[in-house]
Chains A and B, each alone.
Chain A
Amino acid sequence: NAGVTQTPKFRILKIGQSMTLQCAQDMNHNYMYWYRQDPGMGLKLIYYSVGAGITDKGEVPNGYNVSRSTTEDFPLRLELAAPSQTSVYFCASSSSGRLTDTQYFGPGTRLTVL
């Protein structure tokens, strides 16, 4: 089991560029999440999905888009990158949506927008 994998690990973008952060899990989890973590701060939920074809906004969705065409994959799209999107992005998955359910996290993608 690879768990939750994320690519790339690091990326530098110029203002206005676009990119897709990839996330995949092999645990057959229905729930998947995208978080961002700014330096010295806690996590903020960007988008989440409760199953293939179903996505919803979290606390900070502006500037991002997601899709969930399969159970395994949950890519995060950044359109027109801005310096405010410089952050570490974590993808996570869980079998249910309960707060006590273990969320398995990927290693993160460190994104810098210059």
Chain B
Amino acid sequence: DAKTTQPPSMDCAEGRAANLPCNHSTISGNEYVYWYRQIHSQGPQYIIHGLKNNETNEMASLIITEDRKSSTLILPHATLRDTAVYYCIVRVASNNAGNMLTFGGGTRLMVKP
């Protein structure tokens, strides 16, 4: 599986867009980019995923560069409740439960009033 690199921390003003970058320069053609977040003391929460096209859902948007070596998670109007650690992972989208949710340090996003 491709390794990802994320900044350890970021700040964002409440109501502004939060843009969280992720580098995955060794990603292979059949690997998807997934984003999860973990609010303090809780289990992780799935946010969004994509292969090569940009994706949007009710929580966030995912922008993947044309060469797929990096991506950006966008929270369009960050709220205080979005303060969490955000994890970018790259995985093959299989049904193998053994591939699930193993990830590194993530980015600690602090949304400030």
Contacts and interface: CB of A to CB of B under 8 A. Distances in A.
Contacts of A97: 95-97, 100
A57 B1 CA distance: 17
Interface of B: 32, 34, 41-44, 46, 49, 87, 91, 93, 95-106
19 contacts: A31-B97, A42-B103, A43-B101, A44-B102, A56-B97, A56-B98, A92-B101, A96-B95, A97-B96, A98-B95, A99-B32, A99-B46, A99-B93, A100-B93, A103-B43, A103-B100, A105-B44, A107-B41, A108-B41
A101 to B, nearest CB: 8
**What is the interface of chain B mostly: helix, strand, loop, or mixed?**
loop
B103 A48 contact: no
Closest 4 CB pairs of A and B: A105-B43, A97-B97, A42-B103, A97-B95
A19 to B, nearest CB: 21
A96 B103 CA distance: 20
Contacts of A92: 43, 101
Contacts of A74: none
Given A58-B98, A97-B95, A97-B96, A43 B46 contact: no
Given A102-B46, A103-B43, A105-B42, A40 B105 contact: yes
Contacts of B32: 99
Given A97-B96, A99-B49, A42 B41 contact: no
A103 B105 contact: no
A103 B32 CA distance: 18
Contacts of B106: 42
